[in-house]
Chain A
Amino acid sequence: MLQKKPLITIRNLTKEFDGEVVLKGIDLTIHQNEFVTLLGPSGCGKTTLLRILGGFEQPSDGEVRFEGIDLTQIPAYKREVNTVFQKYALFPHLDVYENIAFGLRLKKVPEAAIMEKVNRMLSLVKLDGFQKRSITSLSGGQQQRIAIARALINQPKVLLLDEPLGALDLKLRQEMQYELKEMQKELGITFIFVTHDQEEALTMSDTIVVLNEGQIQQKGCPVDIYNEPNNRFVANFIGESNIVPGVMPMDLRVAFEGQTFHCVDRGFRQNEEVDVVIRPEDLQIVPEREGAFTGVVDSVIFKGVHYEILVMVGDREYVVHATKSASIGSKVGLFVSPEDIHVMKWGGA
């Protein structure tokens, strides 16, 4: 990723609704042409943050600057920001053409230019020839595309997307993920994308901001977020994890399950208690003698690409994703390589 100019800077952003604090001092910088995903469970404040950027909510405290200018003083309709809404929010009394042309008509753009731009937008979202169709005759996926076209025609500097793929089926969603990413690269617009779907976030983003209970848990590129979760919440929320208590006797060593392992983490106090994160796909089932530690296969579920195998080590359960099955009740060894052991600060019992 090229280093780019900061576009939006958020400082100590706080939002309260009737005494309930939804955002607790968010600090965040968003750069030009960045695809940023706000990821978190429902109620984490991600939509509120997006609505403040869109101008639909006012912050209780803190500042939001857009190219250095205080954004909170600018009403929604004067911002160079457009939104794709969760339920599309297309105007049911207007046809496809008029929905997309809505923003340009308000700017009194001449009709010929409107027509040219609407047609260009329709081909961008691959719905040529849909001009005269009524909104109610469109499928969810098509409505989604119209909503995107309607927002993009105004050539915003930032496009806000509020769980735009939530209502689509899996196949269509994957297709749209790919297309949105392509569009963002092609148009060079900053996308701020809100979702609770970690896979979507990992697939599309340059930067993921993981939110929980109104606070940023971690900000980073998808690979870092997945491989080096900051805390238990991130580890659990992004993909499946085995989280095991351990101790760091020294840098590059971690002890858990009664053994000391090599690892790649450093910077902890001597004998500091830590959480050890191991992704299910990083655990390998090997013959009993070759394993770092051993356990008994408790259950095997076929998941398509892989088997999900639960191995009991003492009274702790490990989830293993393996391409080969194992027989239930058999004793097996478990192996994990040093770079797949992720150590994070102890998050409490």
Chain B
Amino acid sequence: MDTKKLSYPYLVWITLTILVPMLLIFLYSIIEPGPEPLTFQFSLAHYLRALDGLHLQVLWGSFVIALASTAACLLIGYPAAWFISRLRARSQSQVILLLMMPMWINMLLRSYAWMTILSRNGILNSVLAFFGLPEQNLLYTDFAVILGMVYNFLPFMILPIYTAILKVDANLVDAARDLGASPGETFLKVIFPLSIPGIITGITMVFLPSMSSFVIPQLLGGGQFLMIGNLIERQYLLTGNWHFGSALAMLLMAFILLSVWLMKRFDPKSMDSGEGVIPW
């Protein structure tokens, strides 16, 4: 009874900072200025505009880049999580600490750091020149954007997978070996399937921020209309068309919700327990 009251400050907080702004965005997306000043009328025109070919293409492009980043994170993150889980307990927490440390630095700064490395006269090209290799133009490409995202979001992939692998009961590994499974077969038939909830969580936690990111494509992608996040940002800050920006934001949200819903259908655990579900 009393503990319920402890949640009131939080309820007030999310109402003010999440629910109200979301309602406002929704409201902005379905109205337009009326004939008189300070009057508004209902309109779906922003949605119709958001759904035209050009804007859908941006949405699709963002999806492809987010997907590529997520896939790269998974390919690097799973082996990394596996490797960490095999270390001695002390080394495990040290490696996890190393993994988390970059996250204490502002993402903007870290992205600027990558600009310095990738730019035409940057560190990478200096190294290449030193070995007499041809200069590479990496900054302001899709590759740079994906690299930036993988760099920033990789810990969100590794941590849930690492946790899921650790949670696999050592007795199950013994049981598989006992029944004749070689170490490789034990991994494929027991450890990997049981770590799927961690993979699902990892994919969700990387895919969501990648899909809606605008700082990374802005800095490393050169601020072209590369991703939907940039498009929305421009509507608010440059063009000043909050209505259209809101419609795009709603569209992005619908798209993300759909993706998450599809993803959860692959998670065997989300059916009967709350484990391994997206933490938002």
Q: Identify the A interface with B (CB < 8 A).
A: 54-56, 75-78, 81-83, 85-87, 89-93, 102-103, 106-107, 136, 150-151, 154
- Contact for A92 among B178, B181, B194, CB less than 8 A: B194
User: Known: A91-B190, A93-B194, A93-B268. Contact between A154 and B180, CB under 8 A?
Assistant: yes
Q: Does B124 contact A (CB under 8 A)?
A: no
Considering the complex, which residues of chain B in the window 169-211 have a beta carbon less than 8 Å from any beta carbon of chain A?
169, 171-172, 174-182, 185, 189-190, 193-194
Q: Is the CB of B169 within 8 A of A89?
A: yes
> B194 to A106, Cβ gap below 8 A?
no
> CA A92 – CA B185 in complex, angstroms?
17
Q: How many residues of B contact A (CB 8 A)?
A: 19
CB–CB A89/B180 < 8 A? no
Would A77 and B172 be within 8 Å (CB), given that A91-B190, A93-B268 are in contact?
A: no
CB contact under 8 A between A103 and B179, given known A93-B193, A93-B194, A93-B268: yes
Q: 15 extra interchain contacts, Cβ-Cβ under 8 A, other than A92-B194, A154-B179? A: A56-B177, A56-B178, A81-B178, A82-B179, A83-B174, A89-B172, A90-B175, A91-B172, A91-B176, A91-B190, A93-B194, A102-B179, A106-B180, A136-B272, A151-B178
Interface residue from B172, B174, B179 paired with A106 (Cβ < 8 Å): B179
Smallest CB gap from B273: residue in A: A136
> Would you give the shortest CB distance from A149 to chain B, in whole angstroms?
12
Distance A150 CA – B177 CA, assembled complex (angstroms): 13
Q: How many A-B residue pairs have CB under 8 A?
A: 61
Cβ B175 vs Cβ A106 within 8 A = no
Report A117 CB to chain B, min CB distance, Å.
14
Please name 9 pairs of A and B residues whose Cβ atoms are closer than 8 Å in the assembled complex, sorted by A: A54-B174, A81-B178, A82-B178, A89-B169, A89-B172, A93-B194, A106-B179, A106-B189, A107-B180
Complex Cα distance, B178 from A154, in Å, reads: 10
A residues within 8 A CB of B190?
A: 91
Most central of B182, B185, B189 by chain A CB within 10 Å: B189
The complex places the Cα of A107 from the Cα of B180 at a distance, in Å, of 8
**Would you list the 7 A-B pairs with minimal beta carbon distance, nearest first?**
A89-B171, A103-B179, A89-B175, A76-B177, A106-B180, A93-B193, A83-B178
